[in-house]
Structure 1
Amino acid sequence: MPVQPSLNAPTPLHALPQAVSGAAPHPLAAIPCLGSRDAAWLDALAAQGRFARYGAGDIARGPGAGETAVGFVLAGVMRISLPADRHGDVTFFDTAAGGLFGHLDALAGLAPTLSAVAQTGTDVFILPADRFTALLQSEPAIALALLQDLATDLVTRTPRPLAADTGQAGTALYADLLRMAEPDTASEGGLIISRLPRHRELAAMCGLDEQTVAAGLAALVKSGCAERQYPGLRILDPAYLRALASGTPATD
């Protein structure tokens, strides 16, 4: 009989749906390295984290959004974006059901460096970094399976720069953001967009797809150039945004 996860259970952050402990497949069974465990074991693991559901274009709260945690994709697809480099390019790759994101930061003990944007309706189980490392320490077979998956990814996956797929897409998006921005009275020299259009509206304005818009906005936030202030967007570094819009981002 599989050993229960040797984790100190905190108060669950999310009550599992009734179907989880019934005859229906357990949501965590969608993760290959966990699928062979019984429902009781998976319930014990589920109590260590929380479940979240995102719509297409939503930026994930959790890994890469101020929290060092690991996201297990249960259904759908998450586009993982790394911070923009000095040329304004965003490197990204897609993680489908059964995959993880945020685990490298968690293992390295680093502050989050990625952004995650749902490409479709996407379900994610979010496990805090300390719970994740405790799981690997107590379950060598799971640790080995994840290490093998990571090795396969490193050998076969080639992250793509966003600009390579979209040409001047980033320039178009950033230029439109500048046109919508107004002086920010709360920040000397800053700019603000009081109401940021939805991704779909921005995509139509810029002639882009929603995924490109979502990734571009996420990159601005991760780079420190902007911050979300719902329902708007505050531009903290207008000079950098102007450089991106012109296609000649400033260097450090």
Structure 2
Amino acid sequence: MSVFDGIPFFAGLDPSYGETFGRQCIRKRFSEGELVLDFDDPSTDVYFIVSGDVRVLIRTAAGKEMILGDFGPGKFFGEMAAIDGANRSANVTALTNAEVLLVPPTAFREIVLHSPEIAERLLRLLTSRVRELNVRLFERSVLDLRHRLYAELLRMASPRKGHEGQSIVSPPPFQHDLAARIGCRREQVSRELGAMTEEGLAEKVRGGLVLLRPGVLEKRVRDAMNAAE
């Protein structure tokens, strides 16, 4: 059995490669709230999440944070440092108790370069991340706070089972986390969420924040984007 078994990115990996490079990898556990990686860290391993969840964010010298995303089992991070050798560009913290597989950069590159299927997988993932960052950058440039919040909630939400036409963000997001995602103060998020509730666009329920009319939010974001262009 290979250490890569069960990790989607390595699906289709030649067993001989799994055996050869698997011996170079190590598993590491992190407790909830523990720092996994820090900004400007010189390490270059790639981290594959076996269990648990982590948060990736950028923190300024003044302590202001911008959340880039939360990753769960099957996801990975740190591939850029493995490719270009530069210091880490973000901070990663364990949201829950987590276990990760650390893959050395040489092993990661060898596997990618000798497997067209895995190389294609990496290219698609990197392209997806660049597209998402472009969208976020554009939103930051042209949208006001209200519409940035709409866009972020829509990204975080999934269809609500048993309630056609509704979406839910579960577990319910903390207001300070939403603020860190869209670049504002917690009080501003609180005010906008209150306005959404009054307008019948959102509702707090046990276990989540329900978007009652996500189609309306999508149209408002789209219209704001078009107006900015």
Alignment TM class, shorter chain as reference: 0.5 to 0.7
TM-score of the two chains, using structure 1 as the length reference: 0.48
Q: For residues 93-125 of structure 1, what are the alpha-carbon distances to aligned partners after superposition, in whole Å with 9 as ceiling and x for unaligned?
A: 111111111101221221122221111121111
Paired amino acid for 2:130:
L
Contact 1:30 1:97 in 2 (8 A): no
Compute the RMSD of aligned alpha carbons.
3.3
TM-score of the two chains, using structure 2 as the length reference: 0.52
1:162 is aligned to 2:180: yes
* Aligned match for 2:89, one of 87, 98, 113: 113
The CA distance in 2 between the partners of 1:164 and 1:126, in whole Å, is 31
Quote the residue 2:66 is aligned against: 90
The CA distance in 1 between the partners of 2:61 and 2:131, in whole Å, is 23
Count of residue correspondences: 145
Q: For residues 111-156 of structure 1, what are the alpha-carbon distances to aligned partners after superposition, in whole Å with 9 as ceiling and x for unaligned?
A: 1222211111211111122222222222222111111122223334
Paired amino acid for 2:118:
I
Quote the residue 1:133 is aligned against: 109
The CA distance in 2 between the partners of 1:44 and 1:86, in whole Å, is 44
5+ residue gaps, structure 2, are 138-177, 188-229
1:144 is aligned to 2:144: no
Q: For residues 155-195 of structure 1, what are the alpha-carbon distances to aligned partners after superposition, in whole Å with 9 as ceiling and x for unaligned?
A: 346597627488369xxxxxxxxxxxxxxxxxxxxxxxxxx
Shift of 1:43: 3.5
Q: Give the % identical residues.
A: 19
Paired amino acid for 1:42:
G
Shift of 1:72: 0.9
The CA distance in 1 between the partners of 2:46 and 2:40, in whole Å, is 9
5+ residue gaps, structure 1, are 1-20, 170-252
Secondary structure of the residue that 1:154 maps to in structure 2?
helix
